[in-house]
A and B are shown apart, each in its own frame.
Chain A
Amino acid sequence: MFEFLFKGLIRDKSRSLLPVIVVSLGVTLSVFFIGYIEGFSTDMISQNARFGTGHVKVMTREYVKNISQRPLDLSILEADKLLEQLNDKYPEMDWVRRFSFGGILDVPDKNGITKTQGIAGGMAFNLSSSSKDLERMQIRENLVEGKMPSGSFEMLLGKGLAERMGVKLGDTITFFGATMDGSMSFQNFTYVGAVSFGMSVMDDRTFIIDTKDAEQILDMENAAQEIFGFLPIDIYDGDKIQEVKNSFNALYENDTDEYAPEMLALRDQNGLSTMLDLMNTFASIFNIFFIFAMSIVLWNTGLLGGLRRYTEFGIRIAIGESKKAIYKSLLLESVIVGVIGSIIGTVFGLLLTFYLQEVGLDISNVTSGQNSVLISNVIRAKLVSTQLWIGFIPGVMATFLGALLSGRGVFKRQTSELFNELGV
């Protein structure tokens, strides 16, 4: 039966060509869209986790209330004890201290008079060569000029910021800001290198120093503004993260101290839950839309095909084939068309995804000025195993639905009128 139908489809191109093209196009778009969304969300999760949120982040309760202001004065004191506790309880995770602060960078001329000045955001990481954080942040890989800081009070600048300030390697840059308790803080740094992460927020406004230097200029010895936690090999797992968060926060449930630690998951920060949920919703809506749109197109194609095969169906009924059997054969034909179209569409979708994964799409015009959610300047799609089967859902379903709707005409034929219709 299958072979018979398959041969029929191959030999009669008008039965298969248009439906296959329609299904292939739809499936290509669906598969590509999944890869695009996956690439975009994976990149967004990764960039935000690395630079802004961690997979989880521990802060004081008061800090969490004012998290958008990043208030240094509400930081965690005796951070060593808390880090020890976190390492004991969740040894599989990597826990790191992070500082994020603002200040004025002032570059003097040879007479010590201000040459250039600007407000910039500072980030402090453990820049020692053995640091996992250094590896995670890929600072060395993103160094576009100079070298990594190796001594005290050496500073890296974002490439855009370095260009704007017109600094040369070895120049002195004075940081002027406020310590944890609001005192004035002045410190001379040596500019040793520029980094480019491919994110406007980081490259145009940020400078990077070592956590030890940050401790000194912010008066935060044994304090931590935020403690980031990362799952093993930095792979984001929403369920595992939620589990860690709930178990940690349960420890302090009955603690009334307003500076007790509180853990937030990645999703709880920077409006990421909305973004991630929106992307998932968009992906579902997109697939439903394609099933619906393709079904309508294939229904019409089926109707046209049905008209063209009007005589064929009449003869088949006249020679004794049941209407049910004809309808079944139509449905089976649609499944064959759906599977062929889905295979072709999946291949094309994967090729398109691969292209965008390797080449990327520059959206720096859109991302410049973006503050809260960290998005790369170049979007890249990502090939995922889901793409191998996801296209078959809209592909086969749409053709099947189309055939279900158009094939109903078979049951409207009256056997008594067949000879009249066929002009016998």
Chain B
Amino acid sequence: MKKIITIVLLYISSLSLAQDAQSILKKIDQNMYSETKISTSKMIVYGKRKTKEIVSKGYTRGTSDSFSEYLSPAREKGTKMLKLEDKLWIYSPSSDRTIQISGHMLRQSVNGSDMSYEDMMQERKLVDTYKATLVGEEEMNGEQCIVLDLEAKVADITYYKMKMWVTKDHYVPMRQDLFAKSGQMLKQMNMSDIRKVGDRYFPFKMNYKDVLKDGKGTDFIIMDLQDNVPIPDHVFNKSNLKK
């Protein structure tokens, strides 16, 4: 009888832990995603010889659509990117051509950074794509964090496994270690400068580090962020690329 009670209790506790982990994912998603978002951001690519800064303005609708335009440097000014669902188009004013990036080309680096086009396109909610397990607590980047192990529950995902450190107070990711299915670590993301935007908390600085490359990685800094502001439909239209 004792054995049965122990097993039932263990089962219930594991279920509740799993539910806790999933509810944490939900809270993270609430912080990271909004209905619409307009942001101005700066990408700092630390090269071996020189550091490059790219400023762009981005419009995001839900988790599937986004549009961005490069504002500087001069060589890239006017380059636009449109993502609709799982498709990505890039427009270059110098050639007046729109090119769709698809398949394995999405794994190419964006502007020589540690980010790939695939990284840029991964906007799906964690709760829809990963199954989480609570593995402990640790301090990370000066914040007390919950540590989660995530395993993909969908096939079409860039990183099969993830280890995530999430702040205990506001459920903002502080660090993510991203792994391939083989268990090989591919990238690391470190977040900082958490600010409150409306009713959610959001990291304004992210560092992407391709662990297979040397260097300091790539910083992604949000300079300005507006949440849940109306964005007209024509922004997310291919015709907007050539305008």
Q: Which residues of A contact B (CB under 8 A)?
A: 62, 73-74, 104, 106, 108, 112-114, 117, 119, 174, 176, 178-179, 181-184, 186-188, 219, 259
State the Cβ distance, B240 to closest chain A Cβ, in Å.
15
CB pair A184 B49 closer than 8 Å: no
CB pair B48 A183 closer than 8 Å: no
What does DSSP make chain A's interface, helix, strand, loop or mixed?
A: strand
State the Cβ distance, A112 to closest chain B Cβ, in Å.
7
State the Cβ distance, B11 to closest chain A Cβ, in Å.
51
The residues of B that contact A178 with a CB separation of less than 8 Å are 109, 111-112
Assess A104 versus B99: contact at CB under 8 Å? Given A182-B52, A182-B113: yes
The residues of B that contact A184 with a CB separation of less than 8 Å are 75-76, 79, 90, 92, 111
Q: Does B73 contact A (CB under 8 A)?
A: yes
Q: Contact string, B82-99, partner A, CB cutoff 8 A, digits 1/0?
A: 000000001010111111
CB pair B111 A73 closer than 8 Å: no
In the complex, the chain A residue whose C-beta lies closest to that of B102 is: A117
Provide 25 A-B residue pairs closer than 8 Å at the C-beta atoms, listed in order of the A residue. Answer: A62-B48, A73-B47, A73-B112, A112-B96, A112-B97, A112-B98, A113-B98, A114-B100, A117-B99, A117-B105, A119-B104, A174-B95, A174-B97, A176-B90, A181-B47, A182-B45, A182-B47, A183-B73, A183-B75, A183-B112, A184-B79, A184-B92, A186-B94, A186-B97, A259-B49
The residues of A that contact B94 with a CB separation of less than 8 Å are 186-187
Q: Does B234 contact A (CB under 8 A)?
A: no
State the Cβ distance, A292 to closest chain B Cβ, in Å.
48
The residues of B that contact A62 with a CB separation of less than 8 Å are 48
State the Cβ distance, B170 to closest chain A Cβ, in Å.
34
In the complex, the chain A residue whose C-beta lies closest to that of B50 is: A181
State the Cβ distance, A79 to closest chain B Cβ, in Å.
15
CB pair B52 A187 closer than 8 Å: no
State the Cβ distance, B119 to closest chain A Cβ, in Å.
15
State the Cβ distance, B209 to closest chain A Cβ, in Å.
16
A117 to B98, CA, bound (A): 12
CB pair B49 A74 closer than 8 Å: yes
Assess A219 versus B75: contact at CB under 8 Å? Given A106-B97, A182-B45, A182-B109: yes
A365 to B108, CA, bound (A): 30
Counting chain B CB atoms within 10 Å of each CB, the highest count among A62, A74, A108, A182 belongs to: A182
What does DSSP make chain B's interface, helix, strand, loop or mixed?
A: loop
In the complex, the chain B residue whose C-beta lies closest to that of A188 is: B95
The residues of B that contact A73 with a CB separation of less than 8 Å are 47-49, 112
State the Cβ distance, A110 to closest chain B Cβ, in Å.
13
In the complex, the chain A residue whose C-beta lies closest to that of B74 is: A183
A62 to B49, CA, bound (A): 10
A183 to B54, CA, bound (A): 9
Q: Sort A-B residue pairs by CB-CB distance and give the 5 closest, nearest first.
A: A182-B112, A186-B92, A186-B95, A174-B97, A188-B95
A117 to B79, CA, bound (A): 20
Assess A188 versus B90: contact at CB under 8 Å? Given A181-B52, A183-B73: no
The residues of A that contact B100 with a CB separation of less than 8 Å are 114, 117
The residues of B that contact A219 with a CB separation of less than 8 Å are 75
The residues of B that contact A182 with a CB separation of less than 8 Å are 45, 47, 52, 109, 111-113
A188 to B97, CA, bound (A): 9
In the complex, the chain B residue whose C-beta lies closest to that of A174 is: B97
Assess A104 versus B105: contact at CB under 8 Å? Given A183-B111, A186-B94, A188-B95: yes
Assess A119 versus B105: contact at CB under 8 Å? Given A176-B90, A182-B47, A183-B76: yes
CB pair B112 A174 closer than 8 Å: no
State the Cβ distance, A104 to closest chain B Cβ, in Å.
6
State the Cβ distance, A107 to closest chain B Cβ, in Å.
10
A117 to B112, CA, bound (A): 21
State the Cβ distance, A101 to closest chain B Cβ, in Å.
12
State the Cβ distance, B212 to closest chain A Cβ, in Å.
10
A187 to B79, CA, bound (A): 13
A119 to B90, CA, bound (A): 16
Counting chain B CB atoms within 10 Å of each CB, the highest count among A114, A176, A184 belongs to: A184
CB pair A174 B99 closer than 8 Å: yes
- Considering only residues 49-95 of chain B, those with a C-beta below 8 Å from chain A are 49-50, 52, 73, 75-76, 79, 90, 92, 94-95
Counting chain B CB atoms within 10 Å of each CB, the highest count among A104, A183, A219, A259 belongs to: A183
A413 to B166, CA, bound (A): 98
CB pair A108 B97 closer than 8 Å: yes
The residues of A that contact B101 with a CB separation of less than 8 Å are 104
Given contacts A104-B101, A119-B105, A181-B112, 20 further A-B contacts (CB under 8 A): A73-B47, A73-B49, A73-B112, A74-B48, A74-B49, A106-B97, A117-B99, A117-B105, A174-B99, A178-B109, A179-B75, A181-B52, A182-B109, A183-B73, A184-B79, A184-B111, A186-B99, A187-B94, A219-B75, A259-B49
The residues of B that contact A176 with a CB separation of less than 8 Å are 90, 92, 99
State the Cβ distance, B44 to closest chain A Cβ, in Å.
12
State the Cβ distance, B202 to closest chain A Cβ, in Å.
27
State the Cβ distance, A116 to closest chain B Cβ, in Å.
12
The residues of B that contact A74 with a CB separation of less than 8 Å are 48-49
- Considering only residues 176-222 of chain B, those with a C-beta below 8 Å from chain A are none
Counting chain A CB atoms within 10 Å of each CB, the highest count among B48, B52, B105, B112 belongs to: B112
The residues of A that contact B73 with a CB separation of less than 8 Å are 183
State the Cβ distance, A404 to closest chain B Cβ, in Å.
61
In the complex, the chain A residue whose C-beta lies closest to that of B112 is: A182
A152 to B97, CA, bound (A): 19
The residues of A that contact B96 with a CB separation of less than 8 Å are 112
CB pair A183 B109 closer than 8 Å: no
